[in-house]
Amino acid sequence: MSNPRYQSPKGVHDILPDDHLYFSFIKKVVRHHCRRAGFRRISTPIFEDVEVFKRSIGESSDIVEKEMFLFESKSGKKYALKPEGTAGVVRAYLEHGLSNLPKPVEFYYIEPHFRYNRPQKGRYRQFHQFGFEVLGESDPAIDAQVIYISHRINYDLGIADRLTLQLNTIGSSEDRKQYREDLVNYYTGKERSLCEDCKRRMYENPMRLLDCKEEDCQILASMAPKLESVLSEESKEHFSLLQEYLTELGVKYELNPTLVRGLDYYTHTVFEFWSKKEGSQNATGGGGRYDGLVELMGGESTPAIGYAAGMERIVEYMKEAGIRPPNKDKVEVFVAQLGLVAKKKSLSLINELRNLGINTVGAIGKSSMKGQMGLADKLNAKYSLILGQIEVQEGTIILRNMEKGSQEIVPYEGIVEKMKTLLGEKKLSSKKLWEE
């Protein structure tokens, strides 16, 4: 419809069947790599008590300050649609005593998320992320593994060569106390050149000034003292070991001292995958260590690291790279019929074929034979099986190869076997789905 009466809300999109091919493929690749690495899937609710996000993400973050979708229950309880995945996972980890599982505890998720921001290309109000969280291990080898899996997923999706891995350390919270002071000293007296957001954040969270996108703020940020100068020996050692491990794993990275990530909870390693193309909305994913978060949320001190990637942006880059995900929706057999008896027979034939794993569509409506065959063409079916009154009487069926345009009359008995052979042995499965 060119001028529909209703439209989806601003910044929120339908995923139409052609795009679902991409989403399904991404999920498949993510599930494959996560399972291989022993990660188990977790889903947290789409909304949580707003305090879960405020506490974990931090009051001075963009997300908490202005990007949450907030609502109240009838009893006045305040909730927020989840803007990111880590807070909910940590809440669930503590609520269900998952800290008793053997360490490290490894989860992955594939979920919709919601942020109230200005919609633009690559930035939406509902978007989908997959991500993983590894809790209970502080060794930098874990950081290297998480980064490797993230990279490997990009590689299997065909977009790794369009991205660069940006890597930095933001040290421990102790290191940062000192650094905060250095930054406040540096920015004092320069307030007039800062944007309104940065002026406000200067005392609350001065590190946020380093990743401001305003030009004047960026110029000041480039001359600000570097965190490196206050890193403890331990933090330096963590970061240099991580780099050695990444080199060992053959993962290329670029050191980026201005990468701080927007969320308060990060410590030590932070990383993002950036497109090589110019533009600000170009990261496909990012993550880092959050050693202090579990304790902040009321648990025992627990080192942890996570990663989250945006599926809409990945789809965009896959399309740009000309990647076509495999189409498992293709119609393999179209069953056409004429007359009541033929229709009854075709109903069970369709089901028999489907139960064998063959994608089968039948024209069950009242359409003429010409109409049905037109539909078979439009659906790009590989084969058509045509059952008319004569075929029913004679115990035969017409088998038409739609690609070649040739057809033959074959006995009805044994047609299912014949289709199995024609469509290849891989289809042979009368097992129940959960047995596969």
CB of 108 to ligand AMP, least distance (A): 14
Q: DSSP alpha helices (H): ranges in 14-108? A: 17-36, 50-57, 62, 86-95
Supply 279's token pair. Answer: 């533009």
Angstrom distance (rounded) from CA 263 to CA 65: 11
> Rule CB under 6 A: which of 240-299 touch ligand AMP?
283-286
Residue nearest to ligand AMP (CB): 310
Which CB atom, from 65 or from 352, has the smaller least distance to ligand AMP? 65
Q: How many CB atoms lie within 10 A of CB 300?
A: 9
Any contact of residue 162 with ligand AMP (CB under 6 A)? no
Report, in Å, the least distance between residue 200 CB and ligand AMP: 20
From the CB of 206, what's the least distance to ligand AMP, in Å? 20
The contact mask relative to ligand AMP for 363-402 (x = CB under 6 A, - = no) is ----------------------------------------
Q: Are 12 and 126 a contacting pair, CB within 8 Å?
A: yes
Task: Please tell me the count of residues contacting ligand AMP according to CB under 6 A.
Answer: 17
The two tokens of residue 186 are 């540096």
| Contacts (CB under 6 A) with ligand AMP, residues 297-316 | 308-310, 312-313
Q: How far apart are the first and last CA of the chain?
A: 42
Q: Is residue 190 part of the contact set for ligand AMP (CB under 6 A)?
A: no
Our finding on whether 176 is near ligand AMP (CB under 6 A) is no
In the numeric block, which tokens belong to residue 136? 């209970």
Residue number, 93 or 127, with CB nearest to ligand AMP: 127
User: Sheet holding 383-387: strands in order across?
Assistant: 360-362, 333-337, 383-387, 396-401, 406-411
Task: For ligand AMP, give the closer residue by CB, 124 or 132.
Answer: 124
| Of 235, 341, 308, residue with least CA distance to 88 | 308
Min dist CB 280 to ligand AMP, Å, is 12
58 binds ligand AMP (CB under 6 A): no
Q: For the window 73-112, what string marks contact with ligand AMP as x by the rule CB under 6 A?
A: -----------x----------------------------
What is the crossing angle of helices 340-355 and 415-422, to 10°?
40
Nearest to 29 by CA among 88, 111, 110: 110
Q: Which is nearer to ligand AMP, 309 or 338 (CB)?
A: 309
Closest approach, Cβ 238 to ligand AMP, in A, equals: 21
CA atoms of 317 and 313, how far apart (whole Å): 6
CA atoms 343, 348, 350, 353: torsion sign: negative
> Which helix (H) or strand (E) covers residue 310, if one does?
strand 304-310
Q: Which residues bind ligand AMP (CB under 6 A)?
A: 84, 115, 117, 122-124, 127, 129, 283-286, 308-310, 312-313
